[in-house]
Amino acid sequence: MADTGGRPGSGHTPVMLDRIVELLSPALSEPGAVLVDGTLGLGGHAAALLDAHPRLRLVGVDRDTTALERSRTRLAPFGDRVELAHAEYDDIPAVLDGLGVREVQAVLLDLGVSSPQLDESERGFAYSQDAPLDMRMDRTQGRTAADVLNTYSVSELARILREYGEERFAGRIAQAVARRRAAAPLDSTRDLAELVRDAIPAATRRTGGNPAKRTFQALRIEVNAELEILARALPEAVDRVAVGGRIAVLSYHSLEDRITKRTLSGLATDTTPEDLPVPLPDHRPQLRLLTRGSESPTDEENDANPRAASARLRAAERVRRP
């Protein structure tokens, strides 16, 4: 769930705001420091960091044009300290090259779907409201959730639901989709939610929240290529962080967190072959982990902002260039 904007108590609260400011601030105090917020959303995290560091420059990236326009208004008081770009966050290197920036002092990635995307029913992200099956974060791209449901093979649908939604009844749901679309295309969030509910065993519906939750997550990940983009973006983002700079990543489900953990932990590991008596300089860790495992929001934050409950935060500092 990308940045939701606002301050605590304002209705839309950036997830783990104080902790992110604490983790990134040591790298941002010098004049000319550059922060890349690769999932800008409504700019809540970015605004807090710009407030905290008056000489900080922000490069804000988002694939959602609506979010960019809203954050442009929100961040206007910071003037020419802010550069915004409409792009996927795996395009961060190209965005920085276009601005003539080789290294940055911090990168923030707040993954997933934002509260405004969930709250705007016409976007099709929410199973609680009837809307077209869209789910595109970038509405300038072509493929929608309806396209996926109505054109993918049953086996491919089942794979997506199983892998991206961790859905136990993926096969049953995929078969139900196939039966439904043989009569008429499936294009409504309400119809999909009802189809999923009817496709799974009755006993399963009584626990674990809305039974369509995992199917909607899987479709959203597929439509927006979220895991592929993250797997490409993280190493590229780390590569642009200067020595002493920091990166922080907020994940909202285990698949995102697994990729983040693997990437950051791999770069924080000495890769000297075990049979050598001393570490090799070129194999020393490039990163130092700043969090022990992943950190979660406090109970107080979860009470104030229930959508933060699934968040997992990992952060690291660059200690060496390869």
Q: Is the pLDDT of residue 1 over 60?
A: no
pTM of the model: 0.89
Tens digit of each residue's pLDDT (9 = 90 or more) over 74-129 = 999 999 999 999 999 999 999 999 999 999 999 999 997 765 566 666 676 777 77
Q: How far apart are the C-alpha atoms of 61 and 322, rounded to whole Å?
A: 26
Helix, strand, coil % in the chain, rounded to nearest 5:
50, 15, 40
H helix intervals, the chain: 17-24, 44-52, 65-74, 92-99, 115-119, 145-151, 154-165, 170-183, 189-199, 202-205, 213-223, 226-239, 254-267, 299-304
Would you state the pLDDT for residue 9? 35
Q: List, in order of start, the domains of the chain with CATH numbers.
A: 17-116+226-318 (3.40.50.150), 139-223 (1.10.150.170)
Q: Is the pLDDT of residue 191 over 70?
A: yes
Phi-psi region of 237 (alpha: psi -120 to 50; beta: other; left: phi over 0): alpha
* 283 assigned binding-site residue: no
* 257 assigned binding-site residue: no
* 117 assigned binding-site residue: yes
**What average pLDDT does the structure give for the chain?**
90
The string over 43-82, giving b where at least 16 C-beta atoms fall within 10 Å of a residue's C-beta and e elsewhere, is: bbbbbbbbeebeebbbbbbbbbebbbebbeebbeebeeeb
* 44 assigned binding-site residue: yes
Tens digit of each residue's pLDDT (9 = 90 or more) over 241-294 = 999 999 999 999 999 999 999 999 999 998 777 777 767 777 789 999 999 999
Tens digit of each residue's pLDDT (9 = 90 or more) over 17-75 = 999 999 999 999 999 999 999 999 999 999 999 999 999 999 999 998 888 999 999 99
* 43 assigned binding-site residue: yes
Q: How far apart are the C-alpha atoms of 224 and 247, rounded to whole Å?
A: 23
Would you state the pLDDT for residue 3? 46
Would you state the pLDDT for residue 10? 37
Would you state the pLDDT for residue 180? 96
